[in-house]
Amino acid sequence: MTGRDPHQPPAASETVTGGRALDWLLAIAGGVLLTLMTQANAVLARHTDAFYASWAAHGVGAVVAFALVLLFARRRPAPIPDAGRTPLWFYLGGIPGALVVVLSAVAVNSELALAGTIALMLTGQVVFGTAADHLGLLRTPKRRVTGTDLAVAGCVLAGSVLIVLGGA
């Protein structure tokens, strides 16, 4: 443990070798699982429709999440200092989740295919994530957008265009 507040961004000195390697591995694993989920939902949508695929994914996901809660959840969540009450609208995260499943199932079954869909989804995530960090949206810690951030977003966009136009 680094002893820092997990709700604050890491210091510049906290690099991959400074305890962040697990975070990187978890994020990469999440990306792999997101791609696996996207492909599975697209195949299901091809055999049914995108809305049924979304419903099935979220139904199965709810059962798995409930089982994980029963297995791993503590009796009471640890309090977050100075967090106040959680706004009720924070519990509506499943709405964009359902739309992601529907939209990605449609996109994967188009000429974009899986790689193009995932690449463009990543572009949307990087652009929105950068804006959310800059503006402090959804209670993210505010952080100034730098030239490096813009260069990264540009590289992700350029890579996405190459994947889509290159037919990967």
Does residue 160 belong to any structural domain of this protein? yes
pLDDT digits (tens, 9 = 90+) for 113-147: 999 999 999 999 999 999 999 999 988 899 999 99
Does residue 12 belong to any structural domain of this protein? no
pLDDT at 104 over 70: yes
For residue 122, give both structure tokens.
Answer: 């990543």
pLDDT at 151 over 50: yes
What pLDDT, on a 0 to 100 scale, did the predictor assign at position 107? 95
Does residue 20 belong to any structural domain of this protein? no
| Containing structural domain, residue 62 | 26-166
d(CA 38, CA 113): 11
Burial readout 42-72 (b: 16 or more C-beta within 10 A, e: otherwise): bebbeeeebeebbbbbeeeeeeeeeeeeeee
What pLDDT, on a 0 to 100 scale, did the predictor assign at position 162? 96
Does residue 36 belong to any structural domain of this protein? yes
Does residue 7 belong to any structural domain of this protein? no
pLDDT at 2 over 50: no
d(CA 83, CA 86): 8
**How many domains, the chain?**
1
pLDDT digits (tens, 9 = 90+) for 43-86: 999 999 999 999 999 999 999 999 999 998 877 767 777 667 88
What whole-number percentage of the chain has pLDDT above 70? 83
Does residue 157 belong to any structural domain of this protein? yes
What pLDDT, on a 0 to 100 scale, did the predictor assign at position 18? 57
Element (H, E) at 103: helix 94-108
d(CA 130, CA 150): 9
What pLDDT, on a 0 to 100 scale, did the predictor assign at position 74? 75
Does residue 4 belong to any structural domain of this protein? no
